[in-house]
Structure 1
Amino acid sequence: MEYLKFCFVFSCWVKFALCVFSTDTPQPPAAIPKEKLLVLTVATEETDGFLRFMKSANYFKYNVKVLGMGEPWKGGDVGRSIGGGQKVRLLKEAMEALADQEDLVVLTVDSYDLIFAGGPEEILRKFQQANHKVLFAADGLIWPDKKLADKYPSVRSGKRYLNSGGIIGYAPFINKVVTQWNLHDNDDDQLFYTKIYVDPLQRHTLNMTLDHKCQIFQNLNGAIDEVLLKFGTNLVRVRNTVYDSLPVVVHGNGNTKMYLNHLANYVPNTWNYEHGCSHCDDDILDLSQLKEYPNVLVGVFIEQPTPFLPEFFHRLLTLDYPKDKLKVFVHNNEVYHEKHIQKFWEENRNVFNTFKVVGPEENLSQGEARNMGMDICRTDVTCDFYFSMDSDVMLTNRQTLKLLVEQNRKIIGPLVTRHGKLWSNFWGGLSLDGYYARSEDYIDIVQRKRVGLWNIPFMAHVYLVKGSTLRNELKERNYFVLGKLDPDMALCRNSREMTSHREKDSPSPESFHMLRPPKGVFMYMTNRHDFGRLISTANYNTSHYNNDLWQIFENPTDWKEKYIHSNYSRIFTENVMEEPCPDVFWFPVFSQKACDEIVEEMEHYGSWSGGKNEDKRISGGYETVPTDDIHMKQIGYEKEWLHFIREFISPVTLKVFSGYFTKGYAVMNFVVKYTPERQAYLRPHHDSSTFTINIALNAKDTDFQGGGCRFHRYNCSVASQRKGWSLMHPGRLTHLHEGLPTTNGTRYIAVSFIDP
């Protein structure tokens, strides 16, 4: 018995030793050389999506063969219903020459809505690990026949249903699949593959499976919440967080094409944190190498009352682009702005190549007007670019047009934002109903923390379109009208989806052969430079004489640019300030335009007080030292004026009266009018204030003679106040002062008694 036990133990040790030291231990199969991978894709036209696909393929050095290029598409509208059989037919024809190459791996994928995120070596390694002859992409949603769901084999984990947008397999086995095709070009390709896969016998014989956990193929439809961007040192990937996988092929199937566009702004290595944008200088049009600049039609659209319109036209005039290469089309929908356009045209009628205005009398809708502008370029073969610009766009960068032309994209817009807000002229994403959704990178793009060239789903206000694009991809016209959508949304949707009129009417399956596949034109937004801003047109009241004066709250940047003296900021950097008398400070604050418009506003109001002691406008109804004036409150400007004091006077106060912090409040804010005929001077007095500002609104020796201010205690006078400059001095105790006589003309000053 003991002997038998010994023999048994000894034999076990022998077997163990043989297992450990045997040279016949199965080794893992040798890696498939990347030269043995052939990518087959179907594309009948070189759309933007196809070019992007090829760019990602070339990045990883895939061997790609394109099938069907130049053929008419007869495969139906696969973006909206069944179809795509033409792809199988073309693949079947291509596989006839490859069927006997047993070591060849064929990867067949869509191209218009697909990108590569990894290289051939990775995809072959993952295919080998799957240990099947044919591997289909997997989907969490079943299409097109939900009745086949029960026929699919059950899976413990992963996606259960087949998606035909990605297939990889050995050539003989791929051939055995596609040789079964005997249907029409407009029959459904996915239904064809599904019926083969759900047949247990075929599935076993052809050794087929699905990429259940997205190791190779990532279909985005129904799976957007599963994926996120993974930023690596040298490569940006898409990561599936459910299966912790890094798919190699990313497919924007169904209604996820815009999300694919977002991912492709980064993948495979389009943008990363280390190097920024890697494709921004691709296909650049070098204007310096051209014999002459391209011809541009500028379409200007004034669809609502818009503040700072003269400044808008001035920026158009000062664009750094040859004016003989610019034709201007203006649609003005506001009678109020006719005076501004007329003045600009009279002053610059010979500057541009042509200047055409369509006014409110034409009664055009926004969509009709924008279609008209675009049609002018579309029908003019000499029009190289169409530059559309709404009147609420302030382009502060004179190089904007050049920079956009140089980017050489079919449709591109410059980033413009509203001051101090995240409001911009683009959307980073769309909701399911086609309206605004904030993409995860929107804020970083708006704040220029991520700088580059961004494929986006929606833009408005300002953009450049190639003339050749208008005459080819966008040749059908009427792009600004689509149902109840506003014109900008209609243009963007039509550009993205490239639908014909029959497609918009939900075509029947019988008419698929008459349709072409969607081939969206990519729209780009660039934030590579600081281009300018959007102004707010909300709450723009046109009942005043100079309406822009009231825009200090809505559009503070433009208000400051127009109305604050150009040297104001130098008060704090270079000490551009004078002290003509003790504790009397003199500094620039208002621009010439501000002075003129305040005077015009007061004269337009016209109810000057006459310099009488009885004054119902003030508490008590009696003024001891009256002036011929109009209060800011009378013209509805007190709130704006007090804001001006807080924003532009208070900082100066802190600089000159060290340690004093003003409340920036004043009860008495008014414009005084001095004339020899009505009131020429003001007798000595103290002001009811802690300190007073006195801003000259017109120019001595040009508009009037005489005038000035004399401070008695110091026997010191300021007799030549500069237009737009303010005196600032204490109001009580120390600075008794008087207004010196105006001997000729009319003198205007703006006065505030601050911190009474």
Structure 2
Amino acid sequence: MDYFNLFFLLCFSWKHFISNAHSSDSNQQPIPTEKLLVLTVATEETDGYLRFMQSANYFNYTIKVLGMGEEWRGGDVGRSIGGGQKVRLLKEAMEALTDQEDLVVLSVDSYDLIFAGGPEEILRKFQEANHKVLFAADGLIWPDKRLQEKYPSVRSGKRFLNSGGIIGYAPYVNKIVAQWNLHENDDDQLFYTKIYLDSFQRENLNIGLDHKSQIFQNLNGAIDEVLLKFGTKSARVRNTVYDTLPVVIHGNANTKMYLNYLGNYIPNAWNYERGCGVCDHNMVDLSQLKEYPTVMVGVFIEQPTPFLSQFFQRLVTLDYPKDKLNVFVHNNEVYHERHIQRFWEESKDVFNSFKVVGPEENLSQGQARNMGMGLCRKDPGCDFYLSMDTDVMLTNRQTLKLLIEQNRKIIGPLVTRHGKLWSNFWGALSLDGYYARSEDYIDIVQSKRVGVWNIPYMAHIYLIKGEVLRNQLKERNHFVLEKLDPDMALCRHARELTNHREKDSPNPETFHMLRVPKGMFMYITNRHEFGRLISTANFNTSHYNSDLWQIFENPVDWKEKYIHPNYTRIFTENYLEEPCPDVFWFPVFTERACDELVEEMEHYGSWSGGNHEDKRITGGYETVPTDDIHMKQIGYDKEWLHFIREFISPVTLKVFSGYYTKGYAVMNFVVKYTPGRQAYLRPHHDSSTFTINVALNSKGTDFQGGGCRFHRYNCSVDSPRKGWSFMHPGRLTHLHEGLPTTNGTRYIAVSFIDP
């Protein structure tokens, strides 16, 4: 150390002694908040920086940003040593502040840091610490573990210095940073550590560490120490080990995902009393725009998916100008070619453009998704890219508008699987980068906490701004990353650092110096009910209309597609008829259900012919045979019995008061009446407690004649309605016959229930 520095330190030692004498005065005056200046380094406005500024503005901090617009040459501080550029910028800024002895400077990172308290609190805690300079403390030593033994021992608290937070009087901070004479990519924390470990400088500059996280909370190695504390105005982080409320929360090292979680609440983002405090910030009012933004919709069919026709119908009925929608469809399944063809024929002229890439192109998922995203990226007129997997059933026609209005770079609507906690996002990641359940995951999925949430991973459906694709995500292979599925690869590319080589820096040795932080945030919103995810895991495509078999796996979508829209009115409005005594008539199937069941039977094709000899039944002889196919023959018996229990049994309880059906039937079949094979059925009793008879097609359109006559009451019903069912007692009282079909083909579905 040269004599000039020695003299300077001796002078500081004397001032330090005088200052300590004053600081011990119990009547010490609080430092005015206008005497606090926050200095932070940020070379570009990332999402993390904007979050930092939002928290700072909430508490009215005075902020000076250093290095904005500079090229970052401080190394990859998230993965290795570096950060010297921050010290150089701080050194330059402090040169103009060194004579302001009563000015307190707070130097903090910005990309991975938020404020949880205001200037008054931080100044009070700084005064109580009784140091001229106070560094954040850490339980982990970095970057040189060999220096561990040189650290002063502490009775309680964290022992090691962290350079992400520094607070001190301007002259003292200046004296520290004035010693910097290293390179931009040398390590800033090592530089500060060596000064702190120099006992002469530590004592004469009165440098201390915030051992118990009174001011600075570094999350690395300390996540288990902290929890959220909710107040009426804002949320706070509480350190449960030291019982402190830190003011500056720093997501250092690999804890940035956890900081994102905390940032969903701190300082004023969400609490129980007010709900979401920031959801309406910076929203776009579509009604004020001259025209709606243009959206490229990427639709991906990467595995056999039930209810595909319903998916496309929902796409067509989105409440958004169709001339502003360009549709790209990637279909990887031959099974769905007929569904795509039908949609193409019906809707090719609905949208502004329509492009289909089929299984013959043999694209991987990653390649297909890169292609869809690329169509928006290369089109300057593409304002947004909406990616949708076909297992997403949007029930909210306003979904696209609602997502655009939130004005986020990447955002998705919350969709969940019916009756389960399975959704399209993860609330946290494990250390190996895979699923971990966040503390708030269940509350968000169940809408007990409603807002817009910064999350680490989403899939199935999300909206990305076109300008983001042409800037931050301009590389073209975001969906391909070793050992990760395509959506996980995209999310990792978006949230982590991205290599970027400048044109004027071809030297590979400087490649790491040009690594700049992107750190884009991804959001999920549950401010509205958007829809649901369907299960594709057990979808068997061996049937002609395989959706019929989804009654167990996707009961909500099955009901929506196949159960008559007026079915619930049976119970709310007594919407049923009694055309004959104890013969009840009510709606149960949609026309689509009727058509698909008939198609399935005709595709199977082995009609019995209406013969008495029938090997399908016990004894091999049918007294009153029909030309039919049994549900068992097409593998639909379990599904049909479940339909009876779910949708027929409740009607039974309503019309036959006091009778509780078992919902069991041995004989479940579809009958085919034609003049040339079997036109009618002679009078008979059914081997059942009660029978249902569902009309599967329309009189007057598909056939002539038909109907049913009940002999005991001399009552006939000769105008069956498609999708409606008769329900009547089977034994003794209701002898009946099938009236002749005179033209065309009539189909009915019959079950003898509780035989």
**TM over 0.5, yes or no?**
yes
Separation (CA, whole Å) in 2 of partners of 1:325 and 1:727: 48
Amino acid at match of 1:264: G
The structural deviation recorded for 1:376 is 1.0
Give the Cα separation in 2 of the matches to 1:489 and 1:501.
21
Question: What displacement does 1:674 show?
Answer: 1.1
Distance 2:47 2:677 in 1: 73
- Partner in structure 2 of residue 467 of structure 1: 466
In the TM superposition, residue 263 of structure 1 has moved relative to its aligned partner by: 0.3
1:168 match = 167
Amino acid paired to 2:727? M
Looking at structure 1, the residues matched to 530 and 48 of structure 2 have their Cα atoms a distance apart, in angstroms, of 28
- Secondary structure of the equivalent of 1:297? strand
Alpha-carbon separation, structure 2, partners of 1:237 and 1:519: 27
Q: Give the aligned partner of residue 457 of structure 1.
A: 456
- Structure 2 distance, partners of 1:399, 1:382, is 22
Return the offset for 1:721: 1.1
Provide the secondary structure at the position in 2 that maps to 1:643: helix
Q: Give TM-score, length-normalised by structure 2.
A: 0.95
* CA-CA distance at 1:348 after TM superposition: 1.6
**Runs (4+) of structure 1 moved beyond 4 Å?**
none
CA gap of 1:512–1:361, structure 2 versus 1, over 3 A, is closer
Q: Which moved more, 1:587-596 or 1:606-615?
A: 606-615
For residues 224 and 556 of structure 1, the distance between their equivalents in structure 2, rounded to whole angstroms, comes to: 41
Report what 2:142 is aligned to: 143
Could you tell me how far apart the structure 1 residues matched to 2:718 and 2:447 are? 50
1:251 aligned residue: 250
Question: Counterpart in 2 of 1:601?
Answer: 600
Q: How does 1:475-490 map to 2 (within 5 A)?
A: 475-490=474-489
Whether the 8 Å CA contact 1:186–1:513 is kept in 2: the answer is no
Per-residue CA deviations over 1:553-580 (Å, capped at 9, x if unaligned) read 1111111111110100111111111111
Displacement of 1:517: 3.0
User: How far apart are residue 238 of structure 1 and its match?
Assistant: 0.5
> Which position in structure 2 is the counterpart of 1:158?
157
Kept in 2, the 8 Å contact 1:186–1:512? The answer is: no
* 1:657 pairs with 2:675: no
Determine the C-alpha separation between the residues in 1 that align with 2:240 and 2:664: 58
Q: Deviations over 1:613-653 (max 9, x none)?
A: 11111111111111111100001100110010011111111
Q: How does 1:278-357 map to 2 (within 5 A)?
A: 278-357=277-356
Could you say what secondary structure the match of 2:349 adopts? Answer: coil
Question: 1:17 is matched with which residue?
Answer: none
Deviation per CA, 1:175-200: give whole Å up to 9, x if none. Answer: 11100101011000000000000111
Structure 1: 5+ residue stretches without partners: 1-24
- CA distance, structure 1, for counterparts of residue 233 and residue 409 of structure 2: 29
Superposition map of 1:616-655 within 5 A: 616-655=615-654
Q: Find the residue that maps to 1:371 and give its secondary structure.
A: helix
Query: In the alignment, what sits opposite 1:438?
Result: 437
The total of aligned residue pairs comes to: 728
Alpha-carbon distance in structure 2 between the residues aligned to 1:261 and 1:509: 33
Q: Residue 383 and residue 498 in structure 1: after superposition, are their counterparts in 2 closer, same or farther (change >3 A)?
A: farther
For the Cα contact (< 8 Å) 1:696–1:748, is it kept in 2?
A: yes
**Cα pair 1:388 1:463 within 8 Å, conserved:** yes
Once the two structures are superposed, the pairs formed by residues 119-138 of structure 1 within 5 Å of their partners are 119-138=118-137
Task: Quote the Cα distance in structure 2 between the aligned partners of 1:604 and 1:184.
Answer: 76
1:556 counterpart = 2:562: no
Q: CA deviation at 1:26?
A: 4.4
2:688–2:752 CA contact under 8 A, matched in 1:
yes
- Output the amino acid matched with 1:615: D
Report if the CA contact (8 A) 2:46-2:517 is conserved. no
1:680 to partner: Cα distance: 1.3
- Which residue of 2 is the match for residue 448 of structure 1? 447
Match in the other structure for 1:50: 49
Report the residue type matching 2:46 in the other structure: T
Q: Distance in 1 between matches of 2:179 and 2:511?
A: 23
Residues 693-723 of structure 1: per-residue CA shift (max 9 Å, x gap): 0000011111111111111111111111110
Match of 1:718 in 2: 717
Partner of 1:577: 576
Other-structure match for 2:688: 689
Q: Counterpart amino acid of 1:209?
A: G
- Quick check: 2:185–2:513 contact (8 Å CA) kept in 1? no
Q: Which deviations, in whole Å up to 9, do the C-alpha atoms of 1:189-235 show, x marking residues without a partner?
A: 00000000011111100101100000000000000111110011111
- 1:279 positional shift: 0.8
Residue 110 of structure 1 corresponds to 109
Letter in 1 for 2:173: I
Partner of 1:32: 31
Residues in 1 aligned to 2:516 and 2:165: alpha-carbon distance in whole angstroms: 19
Letter in structure 1 aligned against 2:484: L
In 2: Cα distance, 1:231 partner to 1:513 partner: 41
Q: How does 1:60-75 map to 2 (within 5 A)?
A: 60-75=59-74
Instruction: Tell whether the 8 Å contact from 1:143 to 1:190 is kept in structure 2 after alignment.
Output: yes
Partners of 1:79 and 1:517 within 8 A in 2: no
Task: State the shift of 1:324 in Å.
Answer: 0.7
RMSD: 1.3
User: Equivalents in 2 of 1:576, 1:306: separation in Å?
Assistant: 34
Structure 1 residue 501, shift from structure 2 partner: 7.6
> d(CA) in 1 for partners of 2:674 and 2:344?
37
CA displacement, residues 71-111 of structure 1 (integer Å, 9 cap, x when unaligned): 00000000000000000000000000111111110000000
The CA deviation at 1:28 is 2.7
1:209 equivalent in structure 2 = 208
- Confirm or deny: 8 A CA contact 1:305 1:337 kept in the other structure: yes
Partner of 1:422: 421
**Aligned residues of 1:76 and 1:512 also touching (Cα < 8 A):** no
Q: SS state of the match for residue 609, structure 1? A: coil
- Superposed displacement of residue 27, structure 1: 3.2
* Residues 297 and 385, structure 2, Cα contact 8 Å, conserved in 1: yes
How far apart in 2 are the matches of 1:333 and 1:152? 61
Give, in whole Å, the separation in 2 of the partners of 1:630 and 1:477.
54
Please give the alpha-carbon distance, in whole angstroms, between the structure 1 residues aligned to 2:57 and 2:475: 33
Deviation at 1:688, TM superposition (A): 0.9
**1:256, CA displacement in angstroms?**
0.3
Q: Distance in 2 between matches of 1:670 and 1:65?
A: 79
Deviation at 1:516, TM superposition (A): 2.3
Distance in 2 (alpha carbons) for counterparts of 1:486 and 1:601: 36
Task: Tell me by how many angstroms 1:529 deviates.
Answer: 0.6
Displacement of 1:123 in angstroms is: 0.3
What letter is aligned with 1:180?
Q
Which whole-Å CA distance do the structure 2 matches of 1:216 and 1:251 have between them?
11
User: Do the aligned residues in 1 keep the contact of 2:133 with 2:206 (CA within 8 Å)?
Assistant: yes
1-structure distance, mates of 2:500, 2:32? 48
2: distance between equivalents of 1:156 and 1:321?
Answer: 64
3-state DSSP class of the match of 1:538? coil
Which residue of 1 is the match for residue 678 of structure 2? 679
The aligned residue for residue 7 of structure 2 is none
Q: How far off its partner does 1:466 sit? A: 0.3
Task: Give the Å deviation of 1:509.
Answer: 11
Counterparts of residues 699-714 of structure 1 (less than 5 Å): 699-714=698-713
User: Take 2:482 and 2:698, find their aligned partners in 1: how far apart are those partners?
Assistant: 57
Aligned twin of 1:537: 536
SS state at 2:488 partner = helix
Q: 2: CA distance between counterparts of 1:514 and 1:205?
A: 36
CA distance in 2, matches of 1:512, 1:185: 14
Correspondence for 1:518: 517
Q: Distance in 1 between matches of 2:74 and 2:228?
A: 33
CA contact (8 A) 1:226 1:240 kept: yes
Task: Give distance in 2, aligned partners of 1:361 and 1:514.
Answer: 44
SS at match of 2:39: strand
CA drift at 1:511: 3.6
Matches of 2:252 and 2:353 in 1, distance apart?
46
Separation (CA, whole Å) in 1 of partners of 2:211 and 2:168: 16
Indicate if the aligned counterparts of 2:410 and 2:463 stay in contact, CA closer than 8 A: yes
CA contact (8 A) 1:591 1:724 kept: yes
- Code of the residue aligned with 1:721 in structure 2: it is P
| Counterpart-to-counterpart distance in 1, 2:495 and 2:476 | 15
How far off its partner does 1:375 sit?
1.0
